Amino acid sequence: MTDYIKAHPIKFAIFAVLVLLSLRVLVWGGLNMTGFCWADKRWLNDEEKIVKVLEFLNTADSLRIFADHPKPGNSVINEYEEFKIVPYRDIHDLRTQNTDCCNFGHDSVQSLSGDSANDSLHVKLRIQYLDRNNQMQRKTIDTIVTYNNCASAIGVGNELRWYQ
């Protein structure tokens, strides 16, 4: 083996670099596939994921509620009304008023990059918003929030859209 290395140092160097790069990609991708959060340098537990997703939802400025049925002649439901959200005081208040708010779901396909949505949280909670007359209204929403390994929300389901 050492004779080969001495005889072909460039080939061996290229081979060594390729092996090291391959190992790095396999380790990095493997950690992403298991849900490792690179920003925090650790795996988040379920409670941390729920809190981060709910913080995202509680900090949204406005809400678009889409129509249940399109107007006659429209085949696509793209009609909505936009309202100002009244956030809960904090996550504890949100969780107290929505005790069974959250259930986990897991997609079967995950990205090696960890940037695409690989987990989802089924959220059912009461939101408060101001209607056209500036009156406080409440609505129960039932939606899916997809998030990445660090529990940063990537998408929110069809019933509503959250805008920061």
Nearest to 49 by CA among 123, 134, 135, 142: 123
Mean pLDDT value across the chain: 77
**Cβ contacts of 129 within 8 Å, gap of 6 or more:** 63, 83, 84, 85, 86, 136, 137, 138, 139
Please, which pLDDT band fits residue 125 given cuts at 50, 70 and 90? confident
pTM score of the predicted model = 0.67
- How confident is the model over 73-90, as pLDDT tens digits? 655 556 677 788 899 999
Domain ranges (residues) in the chain:
34-163
